[in-house]
Amino acid sequence: MDHRKDEWLAAIAAADDSRLRELDGELFGKSGDLTALVKGVAQLPKEERRDAGRAANQLKAEIQAAYDARRQELADAALAAELAAPDFDPTEPGPKHSRGTLHPITVVRDELVDLFTSMGFTWQDGPEVESDFFNFEALNIPADHPARDSQDTFWLDDGNLLRTHTSPVQIRTMQRMKPPLKVIVPGRCFRQETVDATHEHTFYQMEGLVVDKGVSTANLLHTMKTCLREILRRDLVVRCRPGFFPFVEPGFELDVKTERGWMEILPCGMVHPRVLQAGGIDPEEYTGFAFGMGLTRVVMLRYGIDDIRTLSGGDLRFLRQFEEVGR
């Protein structure tokens, strides 16, 4: 059985890298010599099998050891050659790999979600392609209502639309869940409007909805104040003025002062009784408040970004500035 052992050992000892790889298949592969040898033991007469099996396994282990030793020897030699090369500088830093970053909108959204979930809110989602009913009708904005003009809508051929705000998820949530409700809905919105430094056709809002017995304007303003303080992390001049939205009564606009003037970021109000009804909730029993934060604009305020277009411009030099905050 041993007659080829010396031949195999000699082949291994003389092999270079590529020959060694071939030998791996020829010796240990599925139809390799050593595999066949070990398998062949089963064909022998029963009384020979034990000794033959032991010998075959021993031989295979010996050849395997020689094979491994040769492979190590070649690897050591290759490394030694590389280190000895005149232009090799072990102190030179290796290539820098960028680890990628979270987008600033994702960073701020996640912080807001953390903040609100710590106050007992849950995160709800809704579709970006909406029906007229959820985006307008159920929010007390009938077909001929002037408020539709302020949200220039991308209509689809089938009569549906790209949601112009996250408010339709208020209705979807009320229809799905029973009060007490405390939800937030971060998500994308779409409007067919002229893009400028503070307006995008695609932007993010974060809706909030609280419905319970005895919810008041004081609860609303307290939640809004907490939210702005936590998320913007600096002293800001905030203005509260009446705001008109058909789905709230009374409604407010919370604006933040910037170098360019007041920026609208946090419209809110007490949920209109008709909206509660559309959601299947009795307005005699429950009250609620809602807000529709301009999430993209909050990101701008947070990082001092003065042009909304940079956020979706895809310029890596812009995005890499957030490399540290995204960790």
The piece of 39-47, 109-117, 152-160, 286-294 that touches ligand FA5 (CB under 6 A) is 286-294
Residue 294 binds to ligand FA5 (criterion: CB under 6 A) = yes
Residue 134 binds to ligand FA5 (criterion: CB under 6 A) = no
The residue of the chain with the least Cβ separation from ligand FA5 equals 294
Report, in Å, the least distance between residue 300 CB and ligand FA5.
Answer: 9
Instruction: Name which of 151 and 153 has its Cβ closer to ligand FA5.
Output: 151
Residue 264 binds to ligand FA5 (criterion: CB under 6 A) = yes
Query: Per CB under 6 A, which of residues 297..316 are in contact with ligand FA5?
Result: 297, 308
Residue 136 binds to ligand FA5 (criterion: CB under 6 A) = no
Residue 182 binds to ligand FA5 (criterion: CB under 6 A) = no
Cα 118 to Cα 73: distance, rounded to the nearest angstrom: 59
The piece of 116-124, 180-188, 214-222, 263-271 that touches ligand FA5 (CB under 6 A) is 263-271
Rg of the Cα atoms in the chain: 35
Report, in Å, the least distance between residue 244 CB and ligand FA5.
Answer: 9
Among 34, 41, 211, 248, binds ligand FA5 (CB under 6 A): 248
The piece of 47-55, 121-129, 213-221, 261-269 that touches ligand FA5 (CB under 6 A) is 261-269
Binding mask 183-202 for ligand FA5 (x = CB under 6 A): --------x-x-----xx--
How many other β-carbons are positioned within 10 Å of the β-carbon of residue 283?
Answer: 16
Residue 245 binds to ligand FA5 (criterion: CB under 6 A) = yes
Among 168, 179, 187, 269, binds ligand FA5 (CB under 6 A): 269
Note whether 189 and 163 are within 8 A (CB): yes
Q: What is the SS3 assignment for the chain?
A: CHHHHHHHHHHHHHCCHHHHHHHHHHHHCCCCHHHHHHHHHHHCCHHHHHHHHHHHHHHHHHHHHHHHHHHHHHHHHHHHHHHHCCCCCCCCCCCCCCCCCCCHHHHHHHHHHHHHHHCCCEECCCCCEECHHHHCHHHCCCCCCHHHCCCCCCECCCCCEECCCCCHHHHHHHHHCCCCEEEEEEEEEECCCCCECCECCEEEEEEEEEEECCCCHHHHHHHHHHHHHHHHCCCCCEEEEECCCCCEEEEEEEEEEECCEEEEEEEEEEECHHHHHHCCCCCCCCEEEEEEECHHHHHHHHHCCCCHHHHHCCCHHHHHHHCCCCC
Query: Per CB under 6 A, which of residues 63..82 are in contact with ligand FA5?
Result: none
Report, in Å, the least distance between residue 233 CB and ligand FA5.
Answer: 18
The piece of 12-20, 69-77, 111-119, 266-274 that touches ligand FA5 (CB under 6 A) is 266-274
Interface residues with ligand FA5 (CB under 6 A) are: 151, 165, 167, 191, 193, 199-200, 203, 205, 245, 248, 251, 264-265, 267-269, 290-292, 294, 296-297, 308
